[in-house]
Structure 1
Amino acid sequence: MTYCVALLLDQGIVMLSDTRTNAGVDNIATFSKLAVVERPGERVIAVLSAGNLAITQAAVTRAIEGASAPIGADAPRTLANAQTMFEAARVLGEAVREVYAHDGKALEAQDYAFDANFLIAGQIKSERMRLFQVYSAGNFIESTPDTPFFQIGEHKYGKPILDRVARFDIPLEDAVKLACISLDSTLRSNLTVGLPADIVIYRRDALKLASRKRILSDDPYFNSIREGWSHALRNAYRELPPPPWPMS
């Protein structure tokens, strides 16, 4: 399993994912679930993926590199040449469908579900920032200011803090804190999610990443967030009033 979150805000974009994959308690590995297409001054597109690793890797690779085109045909559409972010989401969705057409029946024959979900966000020159969630069927939905974040994977543990605090107009720095808190909440409750984690930060209209970082288990900032959030929760719990009804 995995955990991925993406926030689309007035100031920019924050995307965070863990790197753990597992096929049982004794078969755990680390794979990045983040892919970035960056052409400074022209486009930044980032993709997070959750689900069957073979499916998601194949779909993302196809979206980035394109399928083999017949001789004389136009070059395939990719994330590098999509004209809009909507088209980029369509390129990824079509890549998912192509992988299903190639591998779907073989997976079903082995009782494997075609499980793949994606978050794709970014900005192409002359267009606004956009965030989409792409499903296993290749269709997708777009984030709006009313719903400024999407999650995929093991999302239920990190969702409560986002539901309470995430707003379109919060500062980008606060979004980084929220993403880290939501990841920490998931790490504490689900062993199928684990560090290291990958995070990208993008500021609106910059057309280049502000930051791309791998968070390790000894990362001082992430650990300060973990400890500070636990301390704040304990203090908030203690300061709540006791129940007014009889207890004996």
Structure 2
Amino acid sequence: MSQITDPRDRLIVALDLADVEAARALVDRIGDAATFYKIGYRLGYNGGLGFARALTERGLKVFLDLKLHDIGNTVEEGVRAVADLGVSFLTVHAYPQTMRAAVRGRSGDLKILAVTVLTSYDEADAAEAGYALPVAEMVAKRAEQAREIGIDGIVCSAAEAVAVRGVVGPDRLIVTPGIRPVGSDLGDQKRVLTPGEARRAGIDHVVVGRPIAGAADPRAVAQAIVREMETA
């Protein structure tokens, strides 16, 4: 697993908010309790890319969750553009052609994460989408392809983390969404663990959104998650 010296870096706070003003307010409320933030579609398409640069200029880490998937040249050039923002992580879908293009476009400190199977998918969802393999087998297959291609890490459900670690080895990152502190609403996530369970499963970074953003005291929730992971 990666060498993470600051335990706060293990928590990635998802800024799944409507606009930059709301995201900036949340970051300010959390303060130094968190160091790493995720920007996805909702915020990314509403000023979030510029906000990503502003966060990195403040010394914070940014995970751009854009899940790129297109023809090779488009992905490669897109990754090159993202690298110029100074962000730490970028997601692509774990299709071999897409992953190879992303590796070609990668530069600097940018790490490419491959999304195996979305954590909102269960067996019925995968079957409805036309996948013949069970979710666990799809995750393992895509993780193996990502390792061979040279992807830096895998995004998967915490429930699959142990199996994925066995496939990708100790040096690749495992990043897990769908983490819910004890007592939190599961929302649309179907394959979840608590932060402590995730850490014991060998997860490097956990992504937590609504339980922090929707809390009366988001700073306190972030601190509690970091403590739980640190003592797991």
Verify same fold: TM over 0.5: no
Of structures 1 and 2, the larger Rg is shown by 1
| TM-score (structure 2 length as normaliser) | 0.31
Structure with greater proportional helix content: 2
The higher relative CO (CA closer than 8 Å, separation ≥ 6) is in: 1
Structure with greater proportional strand content: 1
| TM-score (structure 1 length as normaliser) | 0.30
